[in-house]
Each structure stands twice: as structure tokens, then as C-alpha cells.
A and B are shown apart, each in its own frame.
Chain A
Amino acid sequence: MKRYLAATQQSMATLLPVVLALTWLALGQRLVLLPDGFFPTVLHYTKFVGKFVMLNGLITNALTMGFQLVGVLVVARTLMTLLKSHLKTEQLGVLIALSALIVWHLLGNPQMINWLILPVFVMSLVWPVQRVRPEWRFSMGVAVNAIYALYILVVQRWWEFSLTAYLQQVVNGWFGDGPQHLWSSIAWYVMAVLGNGLGLNSLSSVVNPDISTTTANANLVAMLQHQTLPNLYSLYPLALFALVGSAGMLLALFLAMMIRRRMKHVSITWLLVLIPLLLDQWWPLAFMIPIMWRPRLMGRMVAVTIVNLLLGALLLFRHLAPAVYWVPSGTPNLLLGGLASHQLGAYAIVMVAILLLDIWLYWQPAKRILEEVTDAQWT
């Protein structure tokens, strides 16, 4: 499995420019163009951007197809690398074309793309192909694709069942009103870390702090009515301790890497990855640096998350005003605490301290990852 994961990650790195372009487009839309985006909301031009329904639809379609295409290209390139010595050129071409078609249908919309599908697909195709006699390899490859095609036809088209959507539903069912206690909040954030680490994307209700969840709303109502907060340790007030740069405090991991490389060795690509990460868009990071499917790193991410949440809970218990108020949609988690508590100064100090602590905790993993990846990939 390791071999397939590594090959997939290498292919992903080659597609970083495409992912960056798509992420920046998504960010632009989310901040400036969507009627409930950050700037339309705070500058009160939601009615004006409401006129650009067509443009927003076009961008959303472009993003959907763009990320699906990225998935397809990753698989195509990985298959090319792993099978070029096992199949004739024309056979490889046909097999890649077939696989591209299958992967296109397996991947859903960008909100629900599970990157884990890519190495799983690659492994399920390459492993049997490499194990049969040379004259059967092409047929085996076609047969594996045929099984996937049958799955798409029967399960996805006929039964109209989507495994990703089902997973999302199951998670949302468990989530319910949202966790109310510290231990359950920690459990959810740990699950989000594992989800990110595995390339699963089924925990959107956890990684996107939402004031409309029952627990967050109950806090808001209590705060506005000058009552005691019923859910102090629920997800919304704790988000800034776990989600800066997305689940696992990925911003701190990336900053650790940047500091290790020293600023003068950091190319413009690093900055183009850093900015989306400040706004909690972590896919460019996952394409640039192999952070997915690494159990040791996932373990460190879990540890960082738990340490942060315990510290956060202590601060909320003793000193900090909790983050309970509304923030415009698209507010990065880095700013969530200050904006949602109206205590900018206190949260700025806390955020810097937490990031410094996390950079320290990520110092060794950052070193290991940097040693593995060649500079050529980032320039």
C-alpha cells in the first residue's frame, strides 16, 4: 500500500499549479462573489452580487469539473508511472483512458471529493495487473475497470446511491445538535483530523464552524440574554484551538516547515499555498507536501489537537470570553476567536502563543517531511 500511496502523492505534487489555480478561484468566489460571502456581507453588497447568479454557477461548475479533472490526472499519471514497464504503450493508453473515465464518475462534487479514492483505485488496478502473467495484464486491467463500471452503473446510477453522500449523512446523523461536552468535542475534532489525514472529506459540519448548530445557537441566545452559557466547550468556541488552517492546525505545520527552510529559501509557491491555508483551504498544502496517509504525522496532529483543546478549555474556564457571536461566512478560523468574542487583543495573544506551541510540536515531523521531499517539486 505504501508504494501506491507514495506514487499517488508524487503525482499529486505535479498537479499543484492546477490545484492552486482552482483553490484561488474558489477563495475569490467565497470572499467576493457569493451573495453570502465575506465581503458582500460586511460591505452590504449582497443584492448586487445576487445578480451574478450565472457567473457564480459557471465558477461552481468550473470548480467541480476542475477538481474532478485533477483526480483523473493524478490517477492517469500514477498508472503511467507504475505500469509503464508492465504494459505495451498502446495497451497502457487504453487502460489509462478507461481508468480516467471511471475515476471521473467516482469523484463527486468538490465539497465531497474523497482523495482516498485515488490511491485505493490505483492499488486495486495495479496490484492484480502486476501479479498475472504478461499476456493477461491488459485483460486484468480492463476487468478491474469493468467491475468499477458495474459499480457505477448499478450502485451510483441505478440505485442512485453515493457512498460519499451516505458517509456524510451518517456523520451528520451522529453529529445531531453538535457535541455539548469537552470530551465529545475533542472526539469530533480528532475524527476531523483523521478524516483530513486519510483524505476523507465527510466531516464538513465539524471543520466549518457553524453558528446555526443547536449548541452554538443556545450559547448565542444565552449570551445575548445575559445568561450562563450552556455549551461552553462545544465546537464553535473551541474551533480556533483546533482548526486554524483546517483540522490538525495545519497552518502551524506549514509554518514549522517554512521556518525550517528559512524565509529566503521559500519560493513564491510557498506563499501561494500559505495564503489559502490562512483561510483554511488546505488542499494546496496536501498536494504540495505529502501530509496525507502518514500515520505518524496523523498521530502528531491528534496530539497537537488534544493539547490545544485542553489548553483552550482551561483558558475559557479561567480567563477568555468565549467565541459565541456571529461572524461573516468565510471568516478564517485564525480570526474566529477575536471576531466572535469581540476580544481581539486577548485572542491575538492566545493565537500567537498557540501557534508557537504548535510549531514547536510540529518541529520534528516538519524536519522529517522536508528531508523526504526534493526541492525540485516546489520551484
Chain B
Amino acid sequence: MRNGLKWVVTAGMFILLVVMIILGLRWSEAKTSTNRAIFNSKMTPTILIPGSSASQNRFDGLVKELNKGVNKHSLLKVTVKETGAMTVSGKLRARDQAPYMVVAFENNHDGYANIKKQAAWFNKAILMLQKRYHFRRFQAIGHSNGGLIWTRYLEQYYQAEELQVNVLMTIGSPYNFAEKSINNKTQMLADFIKHRKALPTDLTVYSILGTETYDDDGIVPEESVEAGKYIFQKQVAHYTQITVTGDDAQHSDLPQNDQIVQLIQQNVLPKPMGSELNRPKS
């Protein structure tokens, strides 16, 4: 009886190992094959997340501005529903290696609880986009709460072995919501600071601050945008804060501000192939 049991256990052990070999190898080969295409892809899209209350059309004006001249790129728009379902509109032109991809949310309300949900939805959206369009490197832009969603995503969901973000530009992002004093840290800022070590160390971050008056952009206090330094400084490779004043420096106008459009062209968008500045990181 005991001998029989021993043989049953031994046989079970071999079966388990054989099953693990077969399933493990199949999984590993499939994952490698998908990722080979992704890792060899030359596409580096610019992914944009709008702020609260904004739809997938929020960046139409900005993309129109960026598409002036010879460097025209496709625009894809994704809206993530509360159920996690996604609708994609727009078309990717053949051989377009630097398309714009806007990810918006059906639930686009303000508040930390929603930002957490939106970051989780965004994670699903970017994985879907990666699977469909086979890219690994990308640039990131977030307007207002869009910058907060990026920060939450990079701290909680971003997998450096599968994706590589080179540049993040946040425009008027209120890292401490409406608080004017850094001594009154909101729960969100405290969490961002707590998890800052998860941010990629090779990332370049630009935080754009708009000032309509001397202390805010009409909505977001200067100090709240400046609080970003407590999250990114001494963690990412480069952190630069830029102040934009003058016309179109009001919070909602920032994405169309000429100076910001220029900053995006200079610092965020990939340079055309063959350019000296287009040195992809390995």
C-alpha cells in the first residue's frame, strides 16, 4: 500500500514537471515572439492624457498645431469606459512611426479616487495599444489631471521591461490639488512621494507651469505644480520646471499655448529619422 502511494506521488511529480515544461515553454515562446516585434519596432508614439472633464477631443487643437509643416502624424483616440471596455477612433497611416495617441476616460471626473481608477484604466489602454500597434518606446504628455494619471501610472503599473518612456511633460498638473502650502500635503501628494522610488530613473520630466496672475493659472496654484519637484527631483534623470506666461497661459488654454507647442516639438516629440538628435536609447 505504502509502496503504491510512493509510486503515485512520484508519478504525480513527473507529470507536474512535464506539464510545467510544456505549458511554460509554449507561454515563453509566444511572449517572446510578440515582444520581438515590439522590441524591434521603430514606432515611438506620443501618448497624451487630458485632464478632468475633458474628452478624447481635448488635444485636437494641439495636434493640429503640431502637424503644421512637413512632420504630419496620425491621431488615434481611445476612450476607456467604466467597465474597462475601450473605443478606438482614428487611423494609423502606413509607416507613421510617431503617431499621437490620446487616451481619455468615460469617467473623467476630478478627485484622487477617480485618478486612481483612471490610472488603472490607462494601464489597460496602453497595453491594448502596445499589443495592437507593437511599440515599446513612447513619449508622454498629460494636461492637468492627465499629469497626475501619468504619475500614478508610472509609480504603480509601468513595467520597464516591456515599455520604455523617455520623456514625460506635464502641463499645469496640480500635484497637491488646490493646496497652496507644501506643508499641507494632500493624500495624493503623500502617496506620490511615498512611491517615487518606482519612477523610472532614466526618465526626463518637464513640468510646465502656467501663470495668468502671479500665483496661479486661473485654476491651479503655482505651489501645487511646483510640488512636483518633491516627487521627481533626485529620482528621475532630469526634472525641469518651466513657467509660461502671457497669452493663453490660463489653465484650459495651456495645451494650445504657442510656447508650449514649441516646447513639445523641441523636447518631447521624436526627431525625424536621420537627425543627429534622434538617438534611441537601448
- What is the interface of chain A, defined by CB distance below 8 A to chain B? 38-39, 41-43, 211-212, 217-218, 220-222, 224-225, 227, 266-268, 271-272, 274-275, 278, 325-328, 331-332, 334-335, 338-340, 342, 344
Contact = CB atoms under 8 A, between A and B. Distances in A.
B39 A42 contact: no
B20 A342 contact: no
B32 A335 contact: no
Contacts of B160: 212, 217
A327 B21 CA distance: 10
A211 B31 CA distance: 13
Nearest to A213: B161
B161 A42 contact: no
B28 interface: yes
A114 B211 CA distance: 55
A268 B5 contact: yes
A218 to B, nearest CB: 8
19 contacts: A212-B159, A217-B160, A217-B161, A221-B282, A224-B40, A225-B39, A268-B5, A274-B13, A278-B13, A326-B32, A327-B24, A327-B28, A328-B23, A328-B24, A335-B17, A335-B21, A339-B25, A342-B32, A344-B21
Contacts of B68: none
Contacts of B17: 278, 334-335
A225 B282 CA distance: 10
Main SS at interface, chain A: helix
Given A38-B20, A43-B23, A335-B17, A268 B2 contact: yes
Contacts of A225: 39-40, 282
Contact of A271 (B9, B26, B35, B282): B9
A236 to B, nearest CB: 12
A325 B32 contact: yes
B24 A224 contact: no
Interface in B19-66: 20-21, 23-29, 31-32, 35-36, 39-40
B25 A344 contact: yes
B13 A338 contact: no
B181 interface: no
A210 to B, nearest CB: 10
